[in-house]
Chains A and B, each alone.
Chain A
C-alpha cells in the first residue's frame, strides 16, 4: 500500500464529516415538505470509479450512486467530463434511481486536471409530473405515468447553469417553485463537496487522496469479507408475497430468494420471483443490492462499514424481466414496499443459518399519502405529503418497536400540528392500533391509526401494502395485524379501500388508515406472563387476543 493507514483513516473520517455538512445544508434549506420534515435524501462523495467511501444516512441510496456514475461515464466518457459539470437524472432505468420522484445530481470533481471524485446527492421531489399530483402513482402501469424522464444529462456545464434544462423541468412539474428550490439546494451541496475535496487534494496531494480512497474501499471490503466468513456454509430459501402490484388487485406478487453460502461468498438467486409487474412495484439492481447489503450488515454486525468493496463477495442471479430485474417501461414508483418485503424474505431465509439474529417480518413501508386540496378556504401551499412508518418485527430477546420507520426507510413523521396549520384537514385520531403487533414469545411492534377529516374537497393518492398478506411471524410467532383503509368508518356509507388507491373525497369525508404491525417471534405461549400483563395494561394487547394467542 502506497499510503499509510493512518492517513487513510483520517481522510475517511474527513469525508464522513464532509457528507454530514452537505446533508445539513441541504435539509436546512429544503423547500419541500418531503425534504424538510421527512429528510428523504442523501448526499455523498464517491471515488472516480463510482464507488462509495462512506455510506450515507439514507443507506439504500448507496448502490444507486455506483450505477449512475457508471452510466454517466458510459454515455459521456471521462474525456467529456469537466470540473463544475453537474448531471441530473431521475430515470429509474437509465440512472437506477429508486423511482422517478427521486432526482439525482452528480458532479465530477477535478483537481489539476485529474478526476478525483464525484459529489452527488439524491432527493425526493414534491412533483415531477405524471398522472397524479405528487407523481408517486401506486396504480401506474407505465413509467411515463410516473413523471417526466430525465436520463443523465447536464444541468450545469463547467459551473454554468444549462437554462434549457431548468426550464424543461420547471414546465414538467406541478410544483415548480419547490422543485426548483430543492434543485438549487442539491446543486449547492455538490459545490460544497467539490470545494472540500479540492482543498483535501491541495493539502494531501492528489496521489495520496486517490490512493487513500482505494485503500479505504479495499479495507472495508476486507472487513466485510472477514465478517462473511463467519457465516457457516449452507443453503437457505424463503418466499413472501406482496398484496398485489397496485393495479391487478387479485394477484399477489411472489418474492423468492435462494441463498448459497460457500467460503464466505454469498450467492443470491432470485430466479424464483414473479415476472415484472404491470403496477409500480418493480425493482432494479441497485435496490436489490441495497436490500441484500442492508440485511447482511444487520445480521452480521450493525457496526460494519459499508463500501462498494462488498461487490466482489456477493453475486446475484435473476430471471429475465422479473419483478426484481424489470425493464422499461415498467413503472417503479412503489419500490419501497417491495424493498421492505424483500428484506423480510431475506431475513427469514437467513434465520436458520444465523439462529437468533433475524427478526420477523416488519410492517414494511407504512405507505404514503398525498392530498391535493381542492377548496379555497385556506392559502395554497402545494400538496400535503406524508410518509408513514410501520413497526418492527420481533426477534429473539426483543419485542418489535411500535410506530417507527423500519430498516431501509428512516423517515420523519409530519407533525399533526404542522399538517393542520398548513392544510384544511383535521386529524381526529392518532392512536396505537391495539393487537396489530404479532403475538409471540416476543411481540411484534404495533402500528398506529390515523384518521383524517377533510375540511375541503380533496384528491387523495395513497399507496401501501400488507392488507391481504400481513407481516409474517418467525419461529412460531403470529403475523402482525394487516393494514386497513376505510372511508367514512362506522357510518352507513363506510367503504373499505384497497391498499393503494386514488380517490376524490367531498368535504366532510373521514378517511381512516390502520397501519400493519410487525410479526411476532417464537411461540406466544412462552411469553413472560409479566410482559403479557404489561401489554394488556398498556393497551397493546386486548384481553380477547391474549386469550386467543397467549393462553
Chain B
C-alpha cells in the first residue's frame, strides 16, 4: 500500500529531498549534489538513496519538486532560439522597453542585457486591433506564413507572438498559432494573449518572450524526469512542479499554455510556502517574516495571516516578468559578502561576494578579502573546528589577519571590533530591507516572528530582530530541508488574467461576470486537460483596480463579497474595499474619484493533501552544554557562551548568550534572549522584556 510523499528541491549546488510517511508523519531527508547539465539525474540519484534505505518505489504516491532549471537557463542564456512576431510598425517595443535605466545611472557606457529575439529574428505582421478590441486591419496570413518560413530557416524552434491589444481581442494571435501549427508542427508557440493577457505591451512582450525562450528546455526537462521516474519505478501519476506563486502544477502541464514563466521565481517560493502552511496554518505562527540567508544573498518574504504576500510584477536578471509570484526581495547579504575600507577610512560591506569559490578567507581556499563568515568566526559565532558538520577546520588566524590588514588597522580597531562592525552593518542591511518592505506593505513588525533559514540565517536572526524590535525568532528543525518540505504543502494553483479598462460605475455586473466566467471556463478546460477534471476545485476572483488616471493597479480580492456571481452590490462593495486598501497602502484615498477596473483575475486552486509535521514529546530536563566559546557582539565585551547541540536539547530554557549547533546551521542567541523548543521542535527565541 502506497504511503510516501516525496518533495525534491533542486538548488544550484545541492538537491534536497524530503520523504514523508503519510501514516506516521515521519520524515526522511537526503541531500545530493545537483547535476546542472541534466538536473533530473541528481533528482533520480536522490530518489535511489531512499530506495537504498528500504523505501519501495511503488510506495511513493506523490512526487513534487522545485527546480531552478528555467532560472538557470535564463541566467546562463541557454534558452531556445526564438522567433518573434509583432504588429507591423512596432519594432521599437523590444528595444525601448520601459525606456528607463534600472542600473547605475552614472554608467556612461550603459548596456542593456542581450536581447532574447534580435531584429533579425523578429517579423512584422500586418493586422491591427484597437483599444476596444475592434479590428482596424485584418491579419495578413501570408505575412505569418512567410515569417515562419524565414525564421524556421534561421533556426527558430519556439515562437513568441505579441500583437498590440491582443489582450482585448486574441483572434489574430490565435489564428497565427494555427498557421504556425500548420507550417511547423514541431514548433513551440507562446501567445501573449495566453501568457499574459494584460495591458502594457512591453511587460506582456517580455513575459511572452521569456516563456518562448525557456519553454522547450523545461518541456525537455519534464520529459526526462517523467521517463526517469518511470524507469525508477516511481509509478505515481501525481507528479508536480513548483511555481512562483507557491502552488504546484502537473509536470505534464509545463509544455504550452504559458506556464513556463510561472516557474522562473519558484526557487525560493517553496521555503516561503512551507512557512505559510507548516508554521502558519498548521502551527499557528500566522505573522512571519522569513530571512533565507545563504552564501551570497538573503531572500526576504512576509507571511500575513498565514498567507505569503504576492506581487504581480517582477524582474529577473534585468528582465521584466509580470506573473503572480511570492513577494520575495533579494539583497546582497550572505556569508560570502565582502567587507572593505573606503577611501575615507570608513567600512562598507557588500554588495560583492566571495561566493563559494574562493569563499571566505577562513575556508582556506585562497580567499583574501574578509567576509561576513570570517567576521562570524572571529566573533565566536561559528565553530572553528568545523563548518556545518563538515570535517574541515576553519582558519581563524587567517580571518583575523585579513580583517586587520584590510580594515581594522586603518580604522584603529581591534580585529574583534572590526568583525563586530562588519556584522552590525550586514545585520543593518537586512534590517533596513525588512523595514522598507514592511513599510511598503504596512506591516507592524512588533507583531511578527522572524524565521531564518539557510546556513547563515540563524546566526544573524536574533541580532536582526533586535534592530527591528521584532520580539521573537523561530528556527525550524531542519532549516536546510525546509524548502523541500514546502513542496509537500502546496495546492495545485493556476492564475488567469484578462484586461479591459472600464470605469466601474459604467460596468454592468453581467459584463464583469462574463469575464470571470470566461476565465473560469478556461481554467476548467485546462484542469480537464491535465487529468484533474474530476477534482474538487475553488475559484478565487480578484479585480485590479485604480483611480481613474492612476497608472498602477491594486489587486483587490473579491472574497467575501457578493461577487460570485457578480452583482451590482458586489461592484459597490469592492469599491469600498478598494478605497480602504488604498488608504491602508498609501495613507490616503479619494472617495469622490472614479474607480476603474483594469484587469479581471481568477485563480483556481485544487486542494492537495498536505504534510503535517507531528508534535513530538520534548524530553523533560535541563540541557547540558557540550562546550563553551568566547563570543563578542561589539568587539569589546567578551562572554563565555555555552554551546549546545540541537539534537540533544531538552525542555529547559536556554539563556543567551548561547550557541546552538546543528548539522546544517548555527543559532546564535545574544544576551537578553532566551530560547526553548516548542512541541514541533522549533527553536523559539524571545527577547526578554
Residues of A that sit less than 8 Å from B by CB: 5-6, 8-10, 13-14, 16-18, 20-21, 24-25, 27-33, 35-37, 39, 57, 59, 177-178, 181, 184-185, 188, 191-192, 218-223, 226-227, 294, 297-299, 302-304, 347, 357-359, 379, 381-382, 388-389, 392, 395, 397-398, 401-405, 407, 410-413, 415-418, 420-422, 426, 428-432, 446, 448-451, 537-540
Interface mask (B111-142 → A, CB under 8 Å = 1, otherwise 0): 11000001110000000001100001000000
Cα A392 to Cα B110 in complex, Å, equals 8
Residues of A within 8 A of B201 (CB): 415-417
User: Which B residues, 562 to 616, have Cβ-Cβ distances below 8 Å to chain A?
Assistant: 582, 585-588, 590, 593
Q: How far is the CB of A547 from chain B (nearest CB, A)?
A: 20
In chain B, what residue has the closest Cβ to A419? B131
Are A382 and B549 neighbours in the complex by a CB distance under 8 Å?
A: yes
User: Which B residues, 89 to 116, have Cβ-Cβ distances below 8 Å to chain A?
Assistant: 89-93, 95-101, 104-112
> Which of B118, B501, B550, B590 gathers most chain A CB within 10 Å?
B550
Are B105 and A223 neighbours in the complex by a CB distance under 8 Å?
A: no
Q: How far is the CB of B581 from chain A (nearest CB, A)?
A: 12
Are A298 and B587 neighbours in the complex by a CB distance under 8 Å?
A: no
> Does B281 sit at the interface, judged by CB under 8 A?
no
Cα A223 to Cα B547 in complex, Å, equals 46
Cα A397 to Cα B108 in complex, Å, equals 12
Identify B131's interface contact among A10, A17, A421, A430, CB under 8 A: A421
Identify B110's interface contact among A388, A401, A446, CB under 8 A: A401
In chain A, what residue has the closest Cβ to B351? A303
**In the complex, how many residues of chain B place their beta carbon closer than 8 angstroms to a beta carbon of chain A?**
67
Cα A401 to Cα B109 in complex, Å, equals 8
Residues of B within 8 A of A14 (CB): 428, 432, 435
Given contacts A14-B428, A33-B551, A538-B118, contact A8 B346 (CB under 8 A): yes
Given contacts A6-B425, A9-B348, contact A59 B105 (CB under 8 A): yes
Are A21 and B429 neighbours in the complex by a CB distance under 8 Å?
A: no
> Does B411 sit at the interface, judged by CB under 8 A?
yes
Are B108 and A9 neighbours in the complex by a CB distance under 8 Å?
A: no
23 inter-chain pairs at a CB distance below 8 angstroms, sorted by A residue, are A13-B425, A17-B432, A17-B433, A17-B435, A28-B552, A29-B588, A31-B547, A36-B551, A178-B549, A192-B439, A219-B344, A226-B343, A302-B108, A389-B96, A402-B95, A404-B100, A412-B98, A415-B200, A416-B90, A417-B164, A430-B90, A431-B90, A539-B119
> Which of B109, B429, B433, B587 gathers most chain A CB within 10 Å?
B109
Cα A364 to Cα B108 in complex, Å, equals 13
Are A21 and B436 neighbours in the complex by a CB distance under 8 Å?
A: yes
Are B432 and A430 neighbours in the complex by a CB distance under 8 Å?
A: no
Interface mask (B315-332 → A, CB under 8 Å = 1, otherwise 0): 000000000000000000
Residues of B within 8 A of A218 (CB): 344
Q: How far is the CB of A223 from chain B (nearest CB, A)?
A: 4
Residues of A within 8 A of B424 (CB): 6, 10
Residues of B within 8 A of A16 (CB): 432
Residues of B within 8 A of A421 (CB): 131, 199, 501
Are B100 and A412 neighbours in the complex by a CB distance under 8 Å?
A: yes
Residues of A within 8 A of B432 (CB): 13-14, 16-17
User: Which B residues, 124 to 169, have Cβ-Cβ distances below 8 Å to chain A?
Assistant: 130-131, 136, 164-165
8 nearest CB pairs, A to B: A36-B551, A413-B99, A403-B96, A29-B586, A222-B344, A302-B106, A398-B109, A219-B344
Identify A188's interface contact among B108, B164, B347, B588, CB under 8 A: B588
Identify A359's interface contact among B108, B436, B590, CB under 8 A: B108
> Does B663 sit at the interface, judged by CB under 8 A?
no
In addition to A395-B108, A422-B501, 18 A-B residue pairs with Cβ atoms within 8 Å of each other are A5-B345, A6-B421, A9-B346, A9-B347, A14-B435, A36-B550, A181-B590, A192-B587, A397-B109, A404-B101, A405-B100, A417-B164, A417-B165, A421-B199, A430-B93, A449-B92, A537-B120, A538-B118
> Does B548 sit at the interface, judged by CB under 8 A?
yes
Residues of B within 8 A of A415 (CB): 199-202
> Does B231 sit at the interface, judged by CB under 8 A?
no
Are B551 and A30 neighbours in the complex by a CB distance under 8 Å?
A: yes
Residues of A within 8 A of B425 (CB): 6, 9-10, 13
Cα A420 to Cα B120 in complex, Å, equals 28
Are A37 and B551 neighbours in the complex by a CB distance under 8 Å?
A: yes
Residues of A within 8 A of B110 (CB): 392, 401, 404
> Does B53 sit at the interface, judged by CB under 8 A?
no
Cα A222 to Cα B343 in complex, Å, equals 7
> Does B503 sit at the interface, judged by CB under 8 A?
yes
> Which of A8, A30, A421 gathers most chain B CB within 10 Å?
A421
Are A395 and B98 neighbours in the complex by a CB distance under 8 Å?
A: no
Identify A432's interface contact among B91, B436, B503, CB under 8 A: B91
Cα A181 to Cα B551 in complex, Å, equals 13
> Does B342 sit at the interface, judged by CB under 8 A?
yes
In chain A, what residue has the closest Cβ to B548? A381
In chain A, what residue has the closest Cβ to B203? A415
Residues of A within 8 A of B429 (CB): 13
Are B100 and A220 neighbours in the complex by a CB distance under 8 Å?
A: no
Identify B96's interface contact among A10, A181, A298, A413, CB under 8 A: A413
Cα A178 to Cα B552 in complex, Å, equals 15
In chain B, what residue has the closest Cβ to A300? B106
Are A298 and B106 neighbours in the complex by a CB distance under 8 Å?
A: yes
Q: How far is the CB of A418 from chain B (nearest CB, A)?
A: 6
User: Which B residues, 16 to 50, have Cβ-Cβ distances below 8 Å to chain A?
Assistant: none
Are A431 and B92 neighbours in the complex by a CB distance under 8 Å?
A: yes
Residues of A within 8 A of B689 (CB): none
Residues of A within 8 A of B89 (CB): 428-431, 451
Cα A359 to Cα B108 in complex, Å, equals 7
Residues of B within 8 A of A428 (CB): 89
Identify A223's interface contact among B93, B342, B503, CB under 8 A: B342
Cα A219 to Cα B551 in complex, Å, equals 39
Q: How far is the CB of A146 from chain B (nearest CB, A)?
A: 23
Residues of B within 8 A of A413 (CB): 96, 98-100
Q: How far is the CB of B285 from chain A (nearest CB, A)?
A: 26
Are B200 and A418 neighbours in the complex by a CB distance under 8 Å?
A: yes
Are A395 and B109 neighbours in the complex by a CB distance under 8 Å?
A: yes
Identify B199's interface contact among A417, A426, A446, CB under 8 A: A417
Q: How far is the CB of B249 from chain A (nearest CB, A)?
A: 29
In chain B, what residue has the closest Cβ to A421? B131
Q: How far is the CB of A362 from chain B (nearest CB, A)?
A: 9
Residues of A within 8 A of B345 (CB): 5
In chain A, what residue has the closest Cβ to B348? A9
Cα A392 to Cα B109 in complex, Å, equals 8
Identify B108's interface contact among A358, A379, A449, CB under 8 A: A358
Interface mask (B334-374 → A, CB under 8 Å = 1, otherwise 0): 00000000111111100000000000000000000000000
Residues of B within 8 A of A540 (CB): 119
Residues of A within 8 A of B97 (CB): 403
User: Which B residues, 408 to 457, have Cβ-Cβ distances below 8 Å to chain A?
Assistant: 411, 421, 424-425, 428-429, 432-433, 435-436, 439-440
Residues of A within 8 A of B93 (CB): 416, 430
Are B107 and A426 neighbours in the complex by a CB distance under 8 Å?
A: no
Given contacts A222-B343, A223-B344, A431-B89, contact A416 B99 (CB under 8 A): no
Residues of B within 8 A of A410 (CB): 100-101, 105
Residues of A within 8 A of B548 (CB): 381
Given contacts A17-B436, A219-B346, A426-B130, contact A28 B200 (CB under 8 A): no
Residues of B within 8 A of A451 (CB): 89
Identify B346's interface contact among A5, A39, A388, CB under 8 A: A5
Given contacts A5-B346, A36-B550, A220-B344, contact A416 B586 (CB under 8 A): no
Q: How far is the CB of A308 from chain B (nearest CB, A)?
A: 15
Cα A223 to Cα B550 in complex, Å, equals 41
Interface mask (B646-684 → A, CB under 8 Å = 1, otherwise 0): 000000000000000000000000000000000000000
Are A416 and B164 neighbours in the complex by a CB distance under 8 Å?
A: yes
Identify B95's interface contact among A21, A178, A432, CB under 8 A: A432
Q: How far is the CB of B345 from chain A (nearest CB, A)?
A: 7
In chain A, what residue has the closest Cβ to B103? A302
Residues of A within 8 A of B96 (CB): 389, 402-404, 413, 430, 448
